[in-house]
Amino acid sequence: MFPQHVFPDTAEIDGQGRLVIGGCSALDLAEEYGTPVYVLDEATLRNRCRSYRAEFEQRCPGAQVLYASKAYINPALAQIFNEEGLGLDVVSGGELAVAIAAQFPLEKVYFHGNNKTSDELAYAVDQGIGRIVVDSFHELDLLNRIAGEAGKVQDILIRVSPGIDPHTHAYTTTGIIDSKFGFSIQTGQAAEAIRQALALSRNGGNLTLKGLHFHLGSPIFELEPYQAAATDLVLRFAAGFREEGLDLQEFSPGGGFAIAYTRDQEPPAIGEYAETIVATLKATCGELGLAIPTLLIEPGRSIVGPAGVALYRIGAIKDIPGVRKYVSVDGGMGDNIRPALYQASYEVVSAGKVNSSTSGNGTYAEEKVTIAGKYCESGDVLASDIMLPTPEPGDIIAIPAAGAYCPSMASNYNLNPRPPMVLVKDGKSRLIRRRESYADMMLCDV
Ligand SMILES: Cc1ncc(COP(=O)(O)O)c(C=O)c1O
Ligand SMILES: N[C@@H](CCCC[NH3+])C(=O)O
């Protein structure tokens, strides 16, 4: 059965059992743009942006949705997010440069990161970035100096670490006490950071503390970590600094909202995350007598992830009798490091032979295979022991839920060019990033 809910909103199967995305045949896209290729469905992207805005704004007027660029950004996408009224979360000078290239309104850009360099901070301050989310004492001093040299007063948030385990992969957990991100509430370092920031907001300093931020990790399939544990805990902590002059104008519980990667996964709906966060925010602020701050949320994966489908072409097929059947494709860990890095699981369908009750073609006989990449690493496996209609060299396979943290974490390992990105909508496709060439990969070599 076709796992519709892990594919983009517009995905369908035509009468010949072929996958169609955004009105475009996956086989035709593979032919036109070559493989591997990442296809992004514009309708899904925009639907997710609109759902986030609607679900949070209707419950909490003035709430702002900041797209977490690290999930994937380029100028064309930044323009779409701007059209949809989102802000941006950036974590490097490079991501900020994309926002600038796309003429994104910089007052809606928030700069994160545990070790922003002085060059990056100076660049952000000079360009007039909206907020810098300060993550260390070193950064507090450095930024105060840089803003002073630029003759500016920079708005900041402080990132706190609430000491909450959101039950996700150890490599993607950020809000626990043993984390390189943020100032820990438990150790007293968050309190000290707030006091220093307040002092720099007053005594001739060059910073203005606007509020607090935290981010627990990603993907978070539970609602509870956002609720009592985090939103409630951080708000109570913030209320303790009212007397010392903390005016909590902005409050961000970060991102981390989950998506379905495999057919058995059912993450909470966007409305459920919104209800949990906003209800807790309102109840806790009411109880503490705090004015409700502007709520900021930072979804990345859950906006771009479900919009993306990776297409690969099958090459070598190696059957090791009694052991495993390896089906190798023309991409792999260079364009999707997530299985190797996080043991992430994906669905795989054969784009020209989709087993679906709506295909009208009955079913294709399946066999158990392992999808391997073309990289010189044994760990370069995209999906292990999955069922696939009998594969043949030349077949196109599609991996859904691939829009987030695949192209953005892609590398040139083994000097394979990174794949192109294609936006599809209403039966038309548009290249928004071309495939790298061999010359591109030698561009910086001197
Ligand atoms: C500070 C911050 N905000 C937002 C995000 C976005 O997370 P996700 O893409 O899971 O929504 C991240 C990444 O985990 C992050 O570190
Ligand atoms: N890159 C990770 C998530 C980390 C998000 C950044 N803090 C992933 O692929 O799931």
* 317-351 confidence digits (pLDDT tens): 999 999 999 999 999 999 999 999 999 999 999 99
Ligand 1 nearest-atom number relative to CA 220: 10
b (16+ CB within 10 A) / e for 358-391: ebebeebeeeebbbbbbbeeeebbbbeebebbeb
Q: Is the pLDDT of residue 1 over 90?
A: no
Two tokens, residue 242: 């009212």
Q: Is 191 exposed, middle or buried (0-12, 13-18, 19+ CB in 10 A)?
A: middle
* Total length of the chain: 446
The mean pLDDT value for 90-95 works out to: 98
With a pLDDT cut of 90, the percent of the chain lying above it is 92
The mean pLDDT value for 189-210 works out to: 95
Q: Which secondary-structure segment (H or E) carries 430?
A: strand 428-433
Give the chain's largest Cα–Cα span: 75
What is the model's pLDDT at position 382? 98
DSSP string, 63-83: -EEEEEGGG---HHHHHHHHH
Q: How far is the CA of 67 from the centre of ligand 1 (A)?
A: 9
Is it true that the peptide bond before 105 is cis, omega within 30 degrees of 0?
no
Bridge partners of residue 88, in order along the sequence:
67, 109
What is the model's pLDDT at position 357? 64
CB-CB contact of 220 with 166 (8 Å) = yes
With a pLDDT cut of 70, the percent of the chain lying above it is 97
What is the model's pLDDT at position 402? 98
Q: Is the pLDDT of residue 361 over 60?
A: no
What is the model's pLDDT at position 250? 98
Reported as a single tens digit per residue, the pLDDT across 137-174 is 999 999 999 999 999 999 999 999 998 877 777 677 66
Mutate which of 86, 167, 214, 218 for ligand 1? The one with the most ligand atoms within 8 Å of its CB, which is 218
Reported as a single tens digit per residue, the pLDDT across 413-446 is 999 999 999 999 999 999 999 999 999 999 999 9
Ligand 1 nearest-atom number relative to CA 299: 11
- As for the ipTM of the complex, it is 0.98
CB-CB contact of 98 with 78 (8 Å) = yes
The mean pLDDT value for 170-186 works out to: 81
Q: How far is the CA of 405 from the centre of ligand 2 (A)?
A: 6
Mutate which of 90, 174, 301, 335 for ligand 2? The one with the most ligand atoms within 8 Å of its CB, which is 301
Which ligand minimizes its atom distance to the CA of 215? 1
Confidence of residue 404 (pLDDT cuts 50, 70, 90): very high
Reported as a single tens digit per residue, the pLDDT across 110-122 is 999 999 999 999 9
Q: State pTM to two decimals.
A: 0.96
Bridge partners of residue 195, in order along the sequence:
none
The domain spans of the chain are 4-41+305-437, 42-302
Confidence of residue 356 (pLDDT cuts 50, 70, 90): confident
Q: Is the pLDDT of residue 358 over 60?
A: no
Catalytic, 60? Answer no
CB-CB contact of 401 with 346 (8 Å) = yes
Q: How many CB atoms lie within 10 A of CB 287?
A: 12
Q: Is the pLDDT of residue 24 over 70?
A: yes
Sole residue written with tokens 């043991």: 343
Q: Residues lining ligand 1, CB < 6 A?
A: 68, 71, 89, 112, 174, 215, 218-219, 254-257, 298-302
| The dihedral sign for the CA sequence 404, 409, 415, 417 | positive
Sole residue written with tokens 């150790």: 187
Q: Is the pLDDT of residue 285 over 70?
A: yes
Mean pLDDT lowest among 180-184, 324-328, 361-365: 361-365
What is the model's pLDDT at position 203? 79
Q: Is the pLDDT of residue 400 over 80?
A: yes
**Mapped to the 3 state alphabet, what secondary structure does 306-364 carry?**
CCEEEEEEEEEEEEECCCEEEEEECCCCCCCCHHHHHCCCCCCEECCCCCCCCCCCCCC
- For residue 114, how far is the Cα from the chain centroid? 17
Instruction: Kindly report the CATH number that applies to the domain delimited by 42-302.
Output: 3.20.20.10
Classified as helix, coil or strand, 25 is: strand
Reported as a single tens digit per residue, the pLDDT across 39-60 is 999 999 999 999 999 999 999 9
Residues 6+ apart with CB under 8 A from 182: 114, 135, 159, 160, 161, 174, 175, 190, 214, 215
Classified as helix, coil or strand, 257 is: strand
CB-CB contact of 368 with 325 (8 Å) = yes
Task: Check 285, 376, 406, 444 and give the catalytic one.
Answer: 376
Confidence of residue 362 (pLDDT cuts 50, 70, 90): low
Which residue, 309, 340, 335, is CA-closest to 411?
335
Confidence of residue 355 (pLDDT cuts 50, 70, 90): confident
φ/ψ of residue 251, rounded to 5:
-145, 125
Cβ(405) – ligand 2 distance below 6 Å: yes
Q: How far is the CA of 338 from the centre of ligand 2 (A)?
A: 9
Mutate which of 114, 169, 342 for ligand 2? The one with the most ligand atoms within 8 Å of its CB, which is 342
Confidence of residue 231 (pLDDT cuts 50, 70, 90): confident
Ligand 2 nearest-atom number relative to CA 169: 10
Two tokens, residue 279: 């209800």
Cβ(302) – ligand 2 distance below 6 Å: no
Average pLDDT, the chain: 95
Sole residue written with tokens 């993450």: 267
Q: Which residue has the higher pLDDT, 203 or 311?
A: 311
Two tokens, residue 227: 């609720």
Instruction: Kindly report the CATH number that applies to the domain delimited by 4-41+305-437.
Output: 2.40.37.10
Two tokens, residue 353: 């032979």
Q: How far is the CA of 120 from the centre of ligand 2 (A)?
A: 21
Confidence of residue 177 (pLDDT cuts 50, 70, 90): confident
Q: Which amino acid is at 378?
A: S
